[in-house]
Amino acid sequence: MTYNGDSKIGDLLANETTKALLEKHLPGISTNPMIEMAKGFTLTQLGALPQAGIPVDTLDALLADLGGVASEENPTHAAPASESPKPTASIGAQVAVVTGAGSGIGRASSLKLSEAGFKVVAVDFNSVTGEETLSLMREQGGEGLFVQADVSKEEDVERYVKAAMDTYGRIDAFFNNAGVLQKFTLLENLDVTEFDRILNVNVRGVFLGLKHVLKVMHAQGSGSVINTASTAGLRAEHSMSAYTASKHAVIGLTKSAAIEYVKKGVRVNAICPGGVDTALTQAVPAMMQESGYVPEEFPNMRMGRFADPAELAEMVVFLASSKSSYMTGSVIAVDGGLTL
């Protein structure tokens, strides 16, 4: 074993050889008054902190030098012989899992995460559109894989998490996004089967994703989860009681997970899109025509337009990255002023 990006700053400073290498590449680091707070960080985590301002080239040169030092020199760092080596997390090699990646906000976010340097595990129920998203990512030079899965089935969720771990060995960001819109109706006419269909995907699917991905992030000691709620999670949408209930539940799950994992290095936030131009909203006129029912009120599009899915994806990338390092449990409306 040699020292690498997973080595703790405290361990590197405790060893004379590695301390000298730290000083060579980051002069003054061992006497910096802030270093006490960073001793529990790995070198990769420190490098990813914008406040640390470590150039990627400097980090790469330091890692190259550390690669030549046997970590057995420092007994606190040495891994037991039986422990399988952890894949090294280097900057620019982060891994994101995105559900609902075949369309709309999930596809746009997969592409933007890929552009930002993430390897993306794209998950969708629909294998045709999911594979299309993977092809689009590869066309722009990105790397990833597609896993066909129904997010409301636990065995499928376990399968997409396993695929990510088998291929990349870690999950740094999880966009827990797949969701479905209900048929508009007054609550008294809402079928139990329709109520169950909405809660099954929007709540059970989000819960199962959290359950299995948080286990991985807890073990890693790091990670960022972004759940897709909705402005319907912040207030009621007329004739959409099941959808409104489901998105309020997503916010409840977000806040619960955020407080449970805040001391485990894992952040959990939610985005609340307003109207976004996707297959989901494009289906609305046909849904109303089919049912013959028109809601008495519609959301107020204050900007006079729907959002482009890419406008949501920008927020997803920000929350997935260390640029949002002090945010957890936040519920962020990206809604063109709809909820004002």
Ligand X SMILES: NC(=O)c1ccc[n+]([C@@H]2O[C@H](COP(=O)([O-])OP(=O)(O)OC[C@H]3O[C@@H](n4cnc5c(N)ncnc54)[C@H](O)[C@@H]3O)[C@@H](O)[C@H]2O)c1
Binding site for ligand X (CB under 6 A): 99-100, 102-106, 124-126, 129, 149-152, 177-180, 201, 205, 228, 230, 273, 275-276, 278-281
* Minimum distance from residue 211 beta carbon to ligand X (Å): 15
Q: Which is nearer to ligand X, 87 or 295 (CB)?
A: 295
* Minimum distance from residue 274 beta carbon to ligand X (Å): 6
Q: Which is nearer to ligand X, 15 or 230 (CB)?
A: 230
- Rounded CA-CA distance 264/216 in Å is 11
Q: 3-state SS of 69-120?
A: CEHHHCCCCCCCCCCCCCCCCCCCCCEEEEECCCCHHHHHHHHHHHHCCCEE
Q: Which is nearer to ligand X, 26 or 276 (CB)?
A: 276
Q: Which is nearer to ligand X, 46 or 113 (CB)?
A: 113
- Rounded CA-CA distance 228/157 in Å is 17
* Minimum distance from residue 146 beta carbon to ligand X (Å): 12
Residues of 173-187 as b/e, b for ≥16 C-beta within 10 angstroms? bbbbbbbbbbbbbee
- Rounded CA-CA distance 338/235 in Å is 11
Query: Of residues 3, 160, 243, 261, which has the active-site annotation?
Result: 243
- Catalytic (active site) residue 243: yes
Q: Which is nearer to ligand X, 63 or 253 (CB)?
A: 253
Residue 8: strand pairing partners: 42
Q: Would you state the structure tokens that stand for residue 245, as one six-digit string?
A: 């209930």
Residues of 241-276 as b/e, b for ≥16 C-beta within 10 angstroms? bbbbbbbbbbbebbbebbeebeeebbbbbbbbbbbb
Residue 200 backbone dihedrals phi, psi, to 5 degrees: -60, -45
- Rounded CA-CA distance 245/198 in Å is 9
Q: Which is nearer to ligand X, 20 or 303 (CB)?
A: 303
* Minimum distance from residue 271 beta carbon to ligand X (Å): 8
* Minimum distance from residue 93 beta carbon to ligand X (Å): 26
Of 250, 251, 233, 229, residue with least CA distance to 241: 233
- Rounded CA-CA distance 269/125 in Å is 24
Query: Where in the sequence numbering do the catalytic residues fall?
Result: 243
